[in-house]
Every structure is written in C-alpha cells, then in structure tokens.
C-alpha cells in the first residue's frame, strides 16, 4: 500500500514522460493544467464515504492542482449534506459530473443545484485547454428521452435505453466544440469508450463527432475521462485517449456476496488520481493512488474477470 505521504513524495519527484505533437492553439504562459480527479465515492452506500473523500481533499490541498473534479456518483441523493461539507473544504475550483446514482432519490435539477453546477452539461476553458462536462444520464421510452429521476432508469433496458446522451445535448456539443480553437478534454460519468459494459449506448454518435472535428483540425479532441465502471482502464480509439478512473470505494459484483461488504469488494484506501496536461512538453501524465482489497480479495474462481479487478488507479504517460 502507498501511504499518503509516499504518494505526495512520489508526485513531487515526477515521472519520465514521452513527447508528442498536437497542433491546437496554445495560450502564452498557460500551457500546463493540473487537476485532481475522483469518482464513485457513493455516499449513502459506502459507510466511510466521507473519510475517503476527505483523503482526496487533503491530498489535493498538498498537491495544489488548478482544479478538482468528481466524475459522478458522489452520493445516492439522500444524505448529501454530509458529503458536500467535505467536498467544499477544497479552497480552489471544483467541478462536478452527474452520475446515474446521484439521481436515485432526487431529481436531476435538484442535484445540479446542490452540486453548484452551472447546468447539467457545460464547458469551461482553463490553461489553454477547453474542458467539457457531459451528462449521459438519459433514458429512452417510446423514442423519447427523459432525465434520470428518482431511480426511474432502473426500468430501462441496460445497454440499450439508458445512460444515453440526448439529441439536444449532442447538438449543443457539436456547437460547443466547433467554437473553440483549443485542445479539448471531456469528462463524463459513463464511458464513451468500449471498456466494460457500463458505456453510453449511443456513444458512437459522439465519437463520430470527434472524428469529424479531428479530421478537420488535426486531433483537436485529445482525451476523455470517465468513472462508473469501478475499473482501472485505458484505451485509445482513433487517436483519442480514454481514461477510466476507478471508484474511490469498491468494485461491485452480482456473482458473489462474501466480500468485505457483501457484494462490495472494498478498497482499503480511497482511490483517486492527479493529472497533468502539459502543452509545452506535449504530454499527459496520470499519477494514481495504490491500495489493497479489504479481505477477502477476489479470486478468479469467484466470478468472471475477477483477475481484472484492481485496487488502484494506474500511473500512465501517453503519447497523443
């Protein structure tokens, strides 16, 4: 296990990174962006969720990123005040993404308000990069799209009619991306990649937009970050880098219930990461926290792909 002190020391030392080339416009003197990212804390389900978020906030104060962002499922929409008090301890800029479970017991508009979000989906510029926060929490019934609200999405067919981007949001995204001349990084809860099954079913419509923009602008969309699947994963699709940030708390399996919290295979320590995007050296570096499972650890005979469940967020350096 890596202690918090060891983690901060490691980050101070830095990592060796590979060079890459991107042609998007840069702003003088603002070529590096550093942010902290955490996902799937699950207040209202994970009993020590405040402790886990506190570990991230304390590390963020030490690391002093330009901003922090949580990728959804901060809570299940019940005892939100407890977790919000921890989240708001960070003195710098804070951004949020909506996760599906955030609307288990509350309407989406109410969650947007309590999280202090400007809208369900939005964008902002920081350090010469254009950041986009997506809302993939729509369900489809009889061809119509509806917001997640009080757990209504459970009745929609998983992998087909839920975790969608709406037509209105897709049109907004097309306009938003066309207006910027900066490199683009996107955040969402559900994945736009093909890793695991918790992806956005109509993600190909979003990736088609990426292809169109990148063909015209020589790789303008550079990276996407998501949570939701509670896995540590990375993939590259048509030049875009997709990072899946592991849950801060646990991995859930329906196939066994003998773990530290029933179906929940809990991590001993909170998982999170710090990311640096440097447009001068042209590199993206992810520095993740390592932990261990609370016993018993999953075994291959427990369920399919048990050997692909990891109690950490990997360090990564990528070429674009």
The DSSP result for 165-219, as a single string, is PPHHHHHHHHHHHHH--S-EEEE-SSBSSSSSS-B-TTHHHHHHHHHHHHHHHTS
**In Å, what is the CA distance from 96 to each residue of 61, 114, 161, 217, 284?**
18, 11, 24, 28, 21
268 vs 294: CA distance, rounded Å: 5
**Greater pLDDT, 195 or 54:** 54
Q: How many other C-beta atoms lie within 10 A of the C-beta of residue 143?
A: 5
Under 8 Å between Cβ of 249 and 3: no
130 vs 114: CA distance, rounded Å: 25
Per-residue model confidence (pLDDT) at position 159: 83
11-61: per-residue pLDDT in tens?
444 443 333 333 343 343 458 999 999 999 999 999 999 999 999 999 999
Average pLDDT for 284-301: 96
Which residue is listed with tokens 């994963």? Answer: 233
Which residue is listed with tokens 């937009």? Answer: 209
136-185: per-residue pLDDT in tens?
999 999 999 999 999 999 999 888 899 999 999 999 999 999 999 999 99
Whether the full predicted model's pTM is greater than 0.85, yes or no, is yes
Domains parsed from the chain with CATH numbers: 4-318 (3.60.21.10)
Name the strand (E) or helix (H) holding 318.
strand 316-318
**Greater pLDDT, 197 or 128:** 128
Per-residue model confidence (pLDDT) at position 275: 98
Per-residue model confidence (pLDDT) at position 123: 98
Under 8 Å between Cβ of 226 and 187: yes
Predicted confidence band at 200 (pLDDT cuts at 50, 70, 90)? very high
């Amino acid at each position: 296990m890596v202690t918090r002190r060891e983690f901060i020391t490691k980050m101070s030392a830095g990592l060796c990174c590979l060079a890459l080339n991107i042609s998007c416009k840069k702003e003088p003197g603002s070529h590096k962006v550093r942010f902290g990212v955490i996902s799937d804390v699950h207040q209202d389900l994970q009993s020590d969720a405040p402790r886990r978020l506190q570990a991230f906030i304390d590390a963020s104060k030490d690391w002093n990123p330009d901003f922090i962002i949580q990728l959804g499922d901060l809570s299940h929409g019940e005892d939100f005040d407890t977790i919000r008090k921890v989240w708001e301890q960070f003195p710098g800029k804070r951004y949020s993404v909506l996760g599906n479970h955030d609307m288990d017991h509350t309407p989406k508009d109410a969650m947007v308000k309590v999280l202090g979000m400007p809208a369900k989906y939005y964008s902002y510029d920081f350090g010469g990069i254009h950041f986009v926060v997506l809302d993939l929490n729509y369900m489809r019934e009889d061809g119509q799209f509806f917001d997640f609200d009080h757990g209504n999405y459970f009745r929609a067919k998983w992998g087909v009619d839920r975790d969608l981007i709406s037509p209105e949001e897709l049109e907004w995204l097309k306009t938003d991306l066309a207006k910027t001349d900066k490199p683009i990084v996107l955040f969402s809860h559900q994945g736009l990649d093909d890793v695991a099954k918790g992806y956005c079913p109509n993600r190909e419509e979003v990736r088609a937009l990426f292809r169109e923009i990148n063909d015209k602008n020589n790789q303008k969309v550079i990276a996407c970050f998501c949570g939701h699947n509670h896995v540590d994963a990375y993939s590259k699709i048509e030049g875009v880098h997709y990072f899946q940030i592991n849950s801060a708390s646990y991995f859930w399996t329906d196939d066994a219930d003998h773990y530290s919290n029933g179906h929940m295979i809990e991590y001993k320590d909170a998982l999170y990461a710090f990311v640096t995007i440097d447009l001068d050296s042209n590199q993206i570096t992810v520095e993740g926290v390592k932990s261990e499972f609370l016993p018993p650890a999953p075994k291959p005979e427990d369920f399919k792909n048990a050997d692909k469940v990891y109690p950490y967020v990997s360090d990564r350096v990528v070429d674009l």
